[in-house]
Structure 1
């Protein structure tokens, strides 16, 4: 398995020609909002023009939705681009990653020629960070990257915990990058987000994806929040047209669609609990409690490796994320599944019964 392989690869054709049922990509199961669909459809005629290099309308929509000033914003062609941009710009020598975590953190660090140090989180404690031990590991790093909630475990870090960490780092020469890409799925994020603290802590960079919650992975869209000095430096280091015209239009429409946002959060809150209760403990499967729109499964009790488990489901037309290439996960014991529409989730449960 490729070390940096991701989920969501639906492009390999099935033998019977039918479409895959994709649980491997963590995207809003409600799909595109009608407002986004209409905006992109109408915007096709405008692709003969360059996108707005200042992305003024998109920044205005982000300001209103996330309550951050435009001078703190750095727009990205998806959130992933911003990890590379940040690390290539600040050039840390040693990056500390609590693992398991999103593989692009490691890949972006290696691309910037940084040494990657791992801090192992305990599966028996639902992969929460042991803060006493973690504080002791800070000395080896000049940059720490945290997912909140973390991918693939779904574990959350509270705002208070992050503030305590930032206070411990104050006055030093360490960067903290917080990936809040899935926080939009929570009904309220005030207990977790730190995007409003970048001016108080200028060593903080917060990244937010807009592709996950608004189902736009094919368009690619995200943003970062940084203190004005860092934001200016990052903006100077990126392609001026890195966010294409259709992505800008889709972002504006998505951020203004309050009904879609409320419906999505309500649906995920209800369906993730129902899905968790149905799948946890089924035939040797341990499910870690989901916080947002995905769930980590320990499948070793089935007697199958994660690759065997994944292949059996592929034979039924179902894709799940084999987590064998995640740093910090035990061998071939884990898979990750997205939370989809209720009928689709039930289809996965039925497939597990047969398997």
Structure 2
């Protein structure tokens, strides 16, 4: 892969700054559907916590992130000894791969591009297990188990980005069991799990003590709308937790992010309201997209929807550019391994914002 092609393959959504620079620096009036961030925005409790903590930036942040880890432990019902706090989940993804140094990694595709990027940066070779659009990109656990020979690490997004595919914990345990027998690490990315109403059927958190080959990555930036602050955590076996702590920057989570995380995890009203609104709006948006000519959306599980545009005659790049001229940003998914140039992804926003997306899509397609 050339340097230019590799750079293109790791483009992300949500780059409103580049969009603004192309248009003279103005962000006013743009609706960003390219990043999967909670449409309710910053919670008042989090804003207040950040404001009150500003004076603390004259001090180094807590190396152990004790208060933040206590909040994570309480909210997610996991022991503190399993938690490594991170400057976003992606930071810990890189720390993890550089610590474990896998030689060959299995990635069901399409998937979040940073799995490949982090593994490659640590010197690993990549093996893809391509998911089928004819089957709504569903994971075939039996097939994945049959692909374990010769790899030492597997990545699973649950829910998967960009497809929205969701595995139950029972399905994942089959993979974990087979991988443990073969000495293979399984990295389960649960960064969008907070959007699920009642995640007990899906999260691997209860399996942490049973499977020392399990790593759970979790972002707090999506659900709590703080991507500019960067906050996440990893849940691992205690021995690996110690290794991750030794390998990372000791001050990797800044004071404002720690304060924001504590406030966010205790804001029950915001959490409940977010899940209810996002789940309600995703169903409405999915049904409305299905009604548009030539548009084929895939069933969503959380706050984003993958769409095949082939029958519209618009490629993803063309549709992205056309909508950007109308102040709507969408994610061109053509750089994902396993997807053609006719796939886009849109975030689920509030009702009025979703209506604007639908209106402008319809204008373009008709």
TM value normalised by structure 1: 0.98
1:110-121 alignment runs, 5 A limit? 110-121=120-131
Which residue number in structure 2 is paired with residue 211 of structure 1?
221
Q: Structure 2: which 5+ runs fail to align? A: none
Secondary structure in structure 2 of the residue aligned to 1:135: helix
Which residue number in structure 2 is paired with residue 188 of structure 1?
198
Q: 1:175 to 1:287 in 2, by over 3 A?
A: same
The 8 Å contact of residues 198 and 226 in structure 1, kept in 2 or not, is answered as yes
1:298-317 alignment runs, 5 A limit? 298-317=308-327
Which residue number in structure 1 is paired with residue 136 of structure 2?
126
Which residue number in structure 1 is paired with residue 347 of structure 2?
338
Which residue number in structure 2 is paired with residue 103 of structure 1?
113
Q: 1:300 Cα deviation (Å)?
A: 0.7
Select the residue among 69, 81, 84 that pairs with 1:74: 84
The 8 Å contact of residues 182 and 292 in structure 1, kept in 2 or not, is answered as yes
Q: 1:290 Cα deviation (Å)?
A: 0.8
Task: Determine if the alignment matches structure 1 residue 156 to structure 2 residue 166.
Answer: yes
Secondary structure in structure 1 of the residue aligned to 2:166: coil
Which residue number in structure 1 is paired with residue 13 of structure 2?
7
Q: Deviations over 1:214-250 (max 9, x none)?
A: 0010000000101111111111111110000000000
The 8 Å contact of residues 286 and 297 in structure 2, kept in 1 or not, is answered as yes
Q: 1:4 Cα deviation (Å)?
A: 0.4
Task: Determine if the alignment matches structure 1 residue 347 to structure 2 residue 356.
Answer: yes
CA distance in 1: counterparts of 2:166 and 2:356, whole angstroms: 28
- Misfit runs of 4+, over 4 Å: none
Q: 1:352 Cα deviation (Å)?
A: 1.0
Q: 1:29 Cα deviation (Å)?
A: 0.3
The 8 Å contact of residues 144 and 175 in structure 2, kept in 1 or not, is answered as no
The 8 Å contact of residues 281 and 287 in structure 1, kept in 2 or not, is answered as no
Q: 1:257 Cα deviation (Å)?
A: 0.3
1:1-355 alignment runs, 5 A limit? 2-11=8-17, 12-13=19-20, 14=23, 17=26, 18-330=28-340, 332-355=341-364
The 8 Å contact of residues 221 and 230 in structure 2, kept in 1 or not, is answered as yes
CA distance in 1: counterparts of 2:180 and 2:261, whole angstroms: 34
The 8 Å contact of residues 147 and 179 in structure 1, kept in 2 or not, is answered as yes
Q: 1:171 Cα deviation (Å)?
A: 2.8
Q: Deviations over 1:23-61 (max 9, x none)?
A: 000000000100000010111111111101111110110
Q: Aligned pair count?
A: 354
Q: 1:62 Cα deviation (Å)?
A: 0.4
Q: 1:281 Cα deviation (Å)?
A: 4.1
Q: 1:172 Cα deviation (Å)?
A: 2.1
Q: 1:269 Cα deviation (Å)?
A: 1.2
CA distance in 2: counterparts of 1:101 and 1:285, whole angstroms: 22
Secondary structure in structure 1 of the residue aligned to 2:70: helix
Secondary structure in structure 2 of the residue aligned to 1:170: helix
Q: Structure 1: which 5+ runs fail to align? A: none
